[in-house]
Amino acid sequence: MPMVNSKEMFKKAYEGGYAIGAFNVNNMEIIQGITEGAKMENAPLILQVSAGARKYAKHVYLMKMIEAAIADTDLPIVVHLDHGPDFETCKSCIDGGFTSVMIDGSHLPFEENIALTRKVVEYAHDRNVTVEAELGRLAGVEDDVKVSAEDSSYTRPEEVEEFATRTGCDSLAIAIGTSHGAFKFKGEPKLRFDILEEVSKRLPGFPIVLHGASSVIPSYVDMINQYGGNMPGAQGVPEEMLRKAASMAVCKINIDSDLRLAFTGEIRKHMAEHPDHFDPRQYLTDARNGIRQMVRHKIVNVLGCNGKA
Ligand code: G3H
Ligand code: 13P
Ligand code: ZN
């Protein structure tokens, strides 16, 4: 099974009323944990790489490890740039073998976002690479940039048809109240499903993407706090809300923070229970198993893409 772009995957997800998990990858254990979990559930997969991940691990290492994971699992896997900050980064990822990119012009004025997205789409489509764009702005931390709640903004449904038509993008990330990171809501979690509904009416059949979609699973927050961490007030998107979004037009659900919690929680637990251990393979085995378990849970209980590979 070769690396694929997101076209067919999203078409099937839209029609089937489920979503594909887009999991952020930064190292070998995370890649192995995700792909092994997806293999066990026979699920299609998006592995996404941020600019920060490329800086940390280097493009070529991530690419070669993902190629190894595809050879090992024989799953349909999209390799996607997460939050591409500019044309050059998107071009570098396309030239370097990614099958999908996100150009994140969500902080730009409407016309500038269209112009930048259009430029990426033209380069990408000539090379059979799909493009995700964003309208509206999520709060939270991404790539060291903190977007405050005041600077965030919901997607305006009246803009989406013009944006999709003029850019030619293949999927659209929208802001309906989720945010990046482990601290998502001050009070009661609330998502603007009315915006999602209105967007999907205006763009029938068009794949929508949900960022900031970790549930910040309480058992892992507890594990971190129990073993010396300090994350009071961590809160994520309730799983039933994600299931509802997946049954609607949302075809891609982005998950990073929950993986970070699982990885770190397992390492904290391992080190607390085995203070004499200093072989990284011992605690990284637990971390990788934590990722695998988390991904299986998401696939079966949240995304509904089990058995769809
Ligand atoms: O939305 C951001 C993702 O969680 C990636 O985070 O930029 O720290 O790698 P990062
Ligand atoms: P979380 O921080 O909720 O995992 O969101 C990740 C994300 O949107 C990556 O683009
Ligand atoms: Zn994101």
203: left (phi over 0), alpha (psi -120 to 50) or beta: beta
Residue 197 phi, psi (nearest 5): -65, -45
Residue 145: the pLDDT is 62
Query: Which residues, 6+ apart, have CB-to-CB distance to 134 below 8 Å?
Result: 102, 104, 105, 106, 113, 172, 173, 174, 175, 209, 211
Give the pLDDT confidence score for residue 34 in this predicted structure.
Answer: 98
Q: What is the pLDDT of residue 194?
A: 97
The DSSP H or E segment spanning 202 is helix 193-202
Cα(202)–Cα(206) distance, integer angstroms: 9
- pLDDT for res 142: 66
> What is the pLDDT at residue 139?
77
Nearest CA owner, ligand 2 atom 3 = 212
pLDDT of the chain, 309 residues: tens digit per residue: 679 999 999 999 999 999 999 999 999 999 999 999 999 999 999 999 999 999 999 999 999 999 999 999 999 999 999 999 999 999 999 999 999 999 999 999 999 999 999 999 999 999 999 999 999 998 776 666 677 777 779 999 999 999 999 999 999 999 999 999 999 998 999 999 999 999 999 999 999 999 999 999 999 999 999 999 999 999 999 999 999 999 999 999 999 999 999 999 999 999 999 999 999 999 999 999 999 999 999 999 999 999 999
Q: Kind and range of the H or E element at 252?
A: strand 250-255
| 224 Cα to the center of ligand 3, angstroms | 23
Is there an atom of ligand 1 within 6 Å of 141 CB? no
For the chain, give percent helix, strand, coil, nearest 5. Answer: 50, 20, 30
Given the CA of residue 216, which atom of ligand 2 is nearest to it?
3
Number of H helices, E strands in the chain: 12, 11
User: What is the predicted pLDDT for the residue at 144?
Assistant: 60
Told to judge if 82 belongs to the known catalytic residues of this protein, a careful annotator would answer yes
Neighbouring CB atoms inside 10 A of 184's CB total 23
- Residues with CB under 5 Å of ion ligand 3 are 211
Of the residues 72, 82, 86, 286, only one is catalytic, namely: 82
> Does residue 134 have its Cβ closer than 6 Å to ligand 1?
no
The separation between CA 240 and the C-alpha centre of its own chain, rounded to angstroms, equals: 18
Q: How far is CA 12 from the centre of its chain?
A: 18
- Least Cα distance to 214 among 263, 259, 265 occurs for 259
Between CA 80 and CA 143 the distance in angstroms is: 16
Does the pTM exceed 0.95?
yes
What are the strands of the beta sheet with 139-142, ordered from one edge? Answer: 145-147, 139-142, 179-180
